[in-house]
Structure formats: C-alpha cells, structure tokens
Structure 1
C-alpha cells in the first residue's frame, strides 16, 4: 500500500485527517486555499464522540485543558422558563465526559500544532483533482503539482472536489435558517455553561468558555441572503424582550466580531464517499444543520475511521470501501436527525405547534432527555495502529 496523501482543506476535518494519517505512518500535505490562517470562528461544543476521536489522534488532553465542561444549562423559553434542564454530571457518568465548550480558533490552533509546518501548503487552492492511473491521484494547485496515493477532500460544504466526483448530484441547499454568532469581547457573568432559548422561528444560545468569555448565536427563519447593515442593532431589536443574559451577551460584543452565515445542508445524501482513491470527509461528504452540534464531531469520527481503515486493510481501495461502509450510514443518519431537530425546535412558528412542543419537553424526564442525547454520543473510535 502506498503512503502519501494530499488533504484538500485545512479546517477541523482536514487537520484531523492529516494528524490521523501521520500517526499511521503516512506522508501528508494539507492544501489550504486561505492565504492567512486567522483562526476565524466563534465557538464549538464537543460531545463525547468527538472527544474520543481527538483522544485517538493524541490531542484530546490538550483540548480538554482548553475547554469548559457544560454541566449546567438547558433549553428555555424567551421569557426564561425552563423547558428542559441539562444534567452534565449524569452525561459524564454515562459516557465519561460532559460536553465541552471551546473557541473554534483554539481548537484549530491545537490541531495545527500537531503537524509540522512544512505539512501545510497555505494559500494554495486545489484547481483540479484527477485519478491519473490506478494508484496515483494528482492535485493541481496553480504551478504546483502534487501526486499522491490518496486524496482526502475536506474542502467543506461547497466542496469543489465533491462537485467534480458527482457532477449530477444536487449540491447544498438552504435550510430555511440563517445564523449570526460571535464571541464576547470580555468575560460575561453567566449562571449556566450552556443554554438554548426557543421562540417562534428563532433561537438564541450561548456557550461559556474557560476564560469567562462566551460564544453566542442567534438562528432566525429568514430568506436566504438576508443581511443587516448593523447586525447587533437588528438582534437587539429582535431579542429585546428575551430573558437575561441575552442582552448582556449582545452588549459585550463588538460589531466586527459578528459572523453571519446562511445554514446550508447537503440534503440529498451521496451514494458513496469515495471514487477511486479520492475520498470525501466532513462537510464535503455530509454537511448537516447545527441543531445537534454534531458537525465537527462527525468530521472527527471520519478522520479516525479513515486512518484506522488505511492502517489495517491490505489496499487503499479496500480501506476506502470500509470507510464508506462504516461512515456513510452513521453520518447520514445523524444529518437526518439534525434536520428533524431543527424542524421540531428553532424552526417551528405556528403557536399551537410551539405550545405542544414546549409541553412535551417539560414533561420529558431529565434521564429520558439524556438517553436521547446518548444515541449520538456513544460512538467508540477504532484504535489507530501504525501500518506495517
């Protein structure tokens, strides 16, 4: 089996894939189109499955040290009433860890720190990816040509590689929701580690960080492409009657820090995650809505599963077939569950439907709610062993 790979995309999934491949003895080049790695982004929650994947990649301890456990919080109404409380201690007892909150920029830096600088080819966009013979794939990056035994496409929801492999398949579509998010400029007094609040066609939530700052996000049902001249002013108007600490989170935020993206998803599942020696990973393979907080965790699962298959299977082709067989059913099931969670949660607008949902949530015992979470968190990674 050959042992050279090109990873297209230097996000969480691409960096994790590169780390996993290097741990099993492969030579890796990560091609990232951004010319400056400014670590943009807000915050991220990592569940037990994602943390276990990071453990197998050798970076789990460092990530935990930089994270804050989500022991308290839950889901509320705009008036502040609790729909369901989160029991982080119960979750930790069940799966060994609470959900952890970390700035996305910190996670990026920790992952990148596991790779030699020469592994990263920054400011180089993959112009074409071609299987030139049975065992070689060629990536063209301007004047730079990279030949490898494997190409891992981790180039995100708008994946160019995916469109080359599956030109007739539908691409990403708008979910009906748009999200604004930011990290506060300074520490904010918070009573909980994590919260979501659901109104009619709107959600506001926060993740508390270790240093006292917090990430907040606002999800709104709006036409695709909607933008605001002053997003903070628009959010203050939209959420001015909602409970504390929402006003304080907005007041602690500088306007340049606010990110605004439409929530798109790969609604039509792909028939395969690989073609020849080219394999899709993360959002390029299964971009999902954020309503379960599983997007990054699924990409981390992908990375470890791919490396384990390549370390133990006799050929690249058999390893990629195994990866596809293991990852496609699970990741596509999680994507469906995330879509359904959004439809029954933030996206609901009819007053009767909202009232029925709220009543059902209030009547659901905490342990039953925890069991619902566990069905996505209990994944156990394969062990990474160096290939011979």
Structure 2
C-alpha cells in the first residue's frame, strides 16, 4: 500500500463540488477512529463489536450503494452464528431481534430428484435454526447499531454513522492513520480501516494487487423471493432436492399478508460460459456496470429453468408463474484460497473480503460474525493500531482456513464431479460438523464496565 500525504483543497469551487460537509473552507478533512468499508452483515456486526469494546470513538460505515435495498438471498443461521451474536451483545437483545426478523425453521426435508423423501426431521426450537433474508438481517443489525451507537459528536443520532453512495477508490497509509478517497470526491482519515466489502473487495484489491478477483468454484447459483400462494409446504418448512450435482431449495417465509417463497438453485457451470451469467457481485444494485446486472429477470429465469430440468415441476412452474414478482439474483460461486493474508498496516479484512468460501456449509455469515467478536477483543486489548489487527488475524485464521479448505474441496467434488458423498446436506464428516457447531467465544467486554 502506498505511503503518502495529500494536500487539503481550499478553493471555493472544490468545496462547492465536493460538498460543505467534506470540504468547508478552512476545515480539515474528517478523521475517524474507525472506518468500516461495507454495510452488509459483516461490516455492521464488526461495527457493533467495535462500538461495544471501544465505547466513545468515532466510527463511520461507508457503503457504495446510494440506498439500502431489498437485495440478496436468504441467510441460514445456526448455533455458530448465535453464539457470536450473544458474544457481541450478552444482553441477548441482538440475538432476539435477529430471530424475530427471520423465520425459525420447523422442519427440514431432503428429497431426491424424483420428489421422494430421503430424510425428514423436525427441528428443535431450542436449536435456533433461523432463516432470514439478507436485507432483513442487514436491517436488524443497522437498527441495533443505530440505537446503541455513541458517536464523536453527541448531537449526532440514529444512522449518522452510515455514509451511503461512497464507493472506495484508494487507501494510502501515513504515520498513524489511513487516507481514504472515494469516487464521489469524499475524503477522510481513519486510525484503522476494516474492509467488509464482500466478494469483490476493493480494499483487498488495493492491499494485494495480485488478488483483485477471487477464484471460480465451478458452479452458479440463482436466488429469488417469489410472492404468491404456494401450498406445498408450510411456514417454517424447508424442502431441499439434491441429485446430479445440483441443489434446489425452497423455504416459505414471511407473515400473513406478506408471504414469500424463497427459491434457490445451485449447479455446475462451465468456466468458458461465465460471460453468459448476469453478474459478478454477490450483493449489489443492478447498475449495468461491469459487476452489476445487465439482463432481465426472464433471461435469468430461462437459464435457471434449463439448468434444473428433471427436478420437480411444481417448483419450476411456480417460478415461471411468479418470477415477475421478484428480483432474480444470478451469479457464479467464487472462493479465496486458504492461507492468504488478510491485512497490511492499519487495514484488515473480515467476512467474504477476507475468506470467501462456497456456500455449501452455510458458514459465510457465521464466520463473519465470529470475525467481528475476535476483532473487538483484539482492539479492546491492544487499541486502535496494527498490532491489534495482526493479533485478530492470527487468532482467526486457523479456524477459518480449516473450514474453508473443507468447503472448497467438497464444493468441487459435488457440483463439478457430481460426487454424492460430498452432498452438502449429508455432512458425512461428523468430526468437522462437531468442530463447526460447538465453537464459542468469550463475550465482548463493554467499554462501560
């Protein structure tokens, strides 16, 4: 990462263009204690942990999108995620809010391509298996942070920590801070920077120029929330069809008057046909740019239907009838190889930006929550400095690398080689399953204690 100073602009026309908040005449560029890049669940969870551990510090969350929209798919949360949420907020309020924002899974049913039931299990409510829309999880975390924030200016309230429409352009470290520049012209300083900007992390691409783009995992996923009456399953039931190296899943979610059927499908996809798919980003507005969506829902639907020919027609027919009620997200599955660095100097990464793995173990969001707990502990112990960031990385990488290696290997075996022993819903490795599910962390100590 480059090391340099920059000149603060004082000219009136520059202040007019960049805005009075950023560059009023005679005012210095804003300086925050912590800058978080990305307002998804990873960035917001990290902010919650940092706020609890460090107290009255100035914290800013920067988001490339101009508004928070109902984008993304469904997130499945089990004990690792809830153990981390409890560590971030020992009062249990955050955990309760997430459960209320989602849907407690009541029944899990696995079927084959002929629609025959392979296994069917009632889910113990105490096990806390919850499914929640990505955007709803974002909303719950943002609301919690808004209500529990303590900003540098006592007059600031609510969502003033969130800076929308700020797409990162560059990072430059000098002495005891990092200089951040955004494409809109906004600039600021921060003592430390947390990159939580997802699978195409701009922070990572700046830190490590040879890792601009992650590696292709060999499969594609379609995700959609369909509005309409689907009476084949009850609220809280999950049906998953597997076979031929493919997975088709549905889940009824919502409340009376706002019921939706979540549908997702994942299967192998030829690498030389990647240009056919709609987008590269996992989450984002359909901006028509290099990484955004450029095609219609119907285009995506047709690829989805063709890929899942031979699976139960009742699901595919429902998608055909109601596809115009949803935004269909289509993208390749990527991963980052294990044992890659996560940070340099006063910058570190969390979540997908640090260790993106295929979704076959449903551990992407839980690992990001665990990252947030570990990062908060490190900052509390060492302060806002590089030592804390390196300690966080050192503590987290062994667990993440072990899970990531297994997820990457199994994903390739199932979706590419169609090896049924690697079926993600059979979880044949009991020792690994126990390792994943039994993990817990100490509560993040409150700065008020």
Partner of 2:220: 178
Partner of 2:4: none
Whether 1:138 aligns to 2:179 is yes
Render the CA deviation track for 1:277-312: whole Å, top value 9, x for unaligned.
Answer: 101111110011111111111111111211122112
Instruction: Tell me the secondary structure at the aligned position of residue 301 of structure 1.
Output: helix
- The 2-side partners of 1:100 and 1:252 are apart by 28
Deviation of 1:348 after TM superposition, in Å, equals 3.5
Whether 1:345 aligns to 2:414 is yes
Deviation of 1:169 after TM superposition, in Å, equals 4.4
**Would the alpha carbon gap of residues 143 and 69 (structure 1) be closer, same or farther in structure 2, given more than 3 Å must change?**
same
Mapping 1:2-41, distance limit 5 Å: 4-24=33-53, 25=55, 26-41=57-72
Matched length: 371
Instruction: Tell me the secondary structure at the aligned position of residue 110 of structure 1.
Output: helix
- The 2-side partners of 1:381 and 1:310 are apart by 15
Of the three residues 78, 84, 89, the one matched with 1:53 is 84
Deviation of 1:248 after TM superposition, in Å, equals 5.6
Deviation of 1:337 after TM superposition, in Å, equals 1.7
Of the three residues 159, 168, 178, the one matched with 1:117 is 159
- The 2-side partners of 1:20 and 1:170 are apart by 28
**Would the alpha carbon gap of residues 249 and 288 (structure 1) be closer, same or farther in structure 2, given more than 3 Å must change?**
farther
Instruction: Tell me the secondary structure at the aligned position of residue 276 of structure 2.
Output: coil
Of the three residues 218, 222, 226, the one matched with 2:276 is 226
Whether 1:129 aligns to 2:171 is yes
Instruction: Tell me the secondary structure at the aligned position of residue 257 of structure 1.
Output: coil
**Would the alpha carbon gap of residues 373 and 67 (structure 1) be closer, same or farther in structure 2, given more than 3 Å must change?**
farther
Deviation of 1:382 after TM superposition, in Å, equals 2.4
Deviation of 1:374 after TM superposition, in Å, equals 3.6
8 Å contact 1:76–1:195 — kept in the other structure?
yes
- The 2-side partners of 1:130 and 1:37 are apart by 28
Q: Which deviates the most, 145-154 or 338-347?
A: 338-347
- The 1-side partners of 2:390 and 2:116 are apart by 49
Render the CA deviation track for 1:48-93: whole Å, top value 9, x for unaligned.
Answer: 111222233342110111222223224321112344444532xx6x
- The 2-side partners of 1:272 and 1:45 are apart by 27
- The 2-side partners of 1:148 and 1:238 are apart by 47
Whether 1:214 aligns to 2:261 is yes
Gaps of 5+ in 1: none
Deviation of 1:226 after TM superposition, in Å, equals 2.7
- The 1-side partners of 2:442 and 2:322 are apart by 41
Of the three residues 345, 353, 362, the one matched with 1:276 is 345
Render the CA deviation track for 1:168-214: whole Å, top value 9, x for unaligned.
Answer: 34730111111111011135321572232222232211233243423
Instruction: Tell me the secondary structure at the aligned position of residue 403 of structure 2.
Output: helix
Deviation of 1:372 after TM superposition, in Å, equals 5.3
Whether 1:195 aligns to 2:230 is no
8 Å contact 1:140–1:146 — kept in the other structure?
yes
- The 2-side partners of 1:205 and 1:282 are apart by 24
8 Å contact 2:410–2:422 — kept in the other structure?
no
8 Å contact 2:180–2:187 — kept in the other structure?
yes
- The 2-side partners of 1:105 and 1:39 are apart by 5
Gaps of 5+ in 2: 1-30, 147-157, 278-294
Mapping 1:139-178, distance limit 5 Å: 139-141=180-182, 142-169=184-211, 171-178=213-220
TM-score, normalised by the number of residues in structure 1: 0.86
Q: Which deviates the most, 166-175 or 232-241?
A: 232-241
Partner of 1:319: 388
8 Å contact 1:199–1:346 — kept in the other structure?
no
8 Å contact 1:184–1:214 — kept in the other structure?
yes
**Would the alpha carbon gap of residues 168 and 99 (structure 1) be closer, same or farther in structure 2, given more than 3 Å must change?**
same
Of the three residues 243, 260, 282, the one matched with 2:312 is 243
Deviation of 1:137 after TM superposition, in Å, equals 1.5
8 Å contact 2:32–2:189 — kept in the other structure?
no
8 Å contact 1:196–1:204 — kept in the other structure?
yes
Instruction: Tell me the secondary structure at the aligned position of residue 168 of structure 2.
Output: coil
Q: Which deviates the most, 240-249 or 113-122?
A: 240-249
Instruction: Tell me the secondary structure at the aligned position of residue 269 of structure 1.
Output: coil
TM-score, normalised by the number of residues in structure 2: 0.75
8 Å contact 1:183–1:253 — kept in the other structure?
no
Render the CA deviation track for 1:301-350: whole Å, top value 9, x for unaligned.
Answer: 1112111221123563332222111211111222222223323434444x
- The 1-side partners of 2:33 and 2:322 are apart by 44
Q: Which deviates the most, 286-295 or 79-88?
A: 79-88
